[in-house]
Every structure is written in structure tokens, then in C-alpha cells.
Amino acid sequence: MAKQDIYTIKQSALGPNIYDVMKMSKDYEPGGIYHIAVAPNKTMSCTCYAGHKFCRHKKMFLEFRNADRIGSGWSYSFDSNKWFPPLAAEEV
Ligand SMILES: [Zn+2]
């Protein structure tokens, strides 16, 4: 169910201006990973099939950055525009 996918974004080990966009199911099962690279002129590229256009991952990246939640462990549902707190925080 693609509509139920949630995403989390963190700094990538691949480079300083690269970010890992991780797709998960509602049950936090990994569902794939894309990489967003931000060029010095702020242009973003994404490794997904639609990455040459303004894909949903780039939109999500901006949502994460605006919320200051990159690398925070927060997850985001693009389709329902809902945030989910880090799993570790729920266990406390
Ligand atoms: Zn993409």
C-alpha cells in the first residue's frame, strides 16, 4: 500500500551534501532508500525514477528541513502530512 508509506531522512555517509531518504511501511519495515544530493546552487537531485523532476522526495526533504527534523528519527507520511515521533522516544 504505497499510500501508507512513511519516510525518514538523515545525513548520508556518502557525502556532506547527500541525504538518505528511507521509505518504510507503517510497521517500520524498510521499503527502499533514495539519495538526495544538494548542489552548491541549492539544486536538488534524487535517485528515484522521477528524480529529474520535482519528485515527492525533494518535497519531503524541504518539509524535513523546515521542521529541523533531518536525522532526528522523526518519520513523515507524505500522503497524510502526518509526523511520527522516533521509535526510541515511544519506548521510553
Ligand atoms: Zn525522488
CA of 56 to the centre of ligand 1 (A): 6
CA of 92 to the centre of ligand 1 (A): 33
- Residues in the chain predicted with pLDDT less than 70, given as ranges, are 1-3, 51, 88-92
8 A C-beta contact, residue 19 and residue 61: yes
Q: What is the pLDDT of residue 24?
A: 92
Q: What is the pLDDT of residue 1?
A: 44
Residue-by-residue DSSP string for 7-69:
EEEEE-TT-TTEEEEEEE-TT--EEEEEEEEE-TTS-EEESSTTTTS--HHHHHHHHHHHTT-
Q: What is the pLDDT of residue 51?
A: 67
Cβ atoms within 10 Å, residue 72: 15
Q: How far apart are the first and last CA of the chain?
A: 30
Alpha-carbon distance 54 to 45, whole Å? 9
CA of 34 to the centre of ligand 1 (A): 7
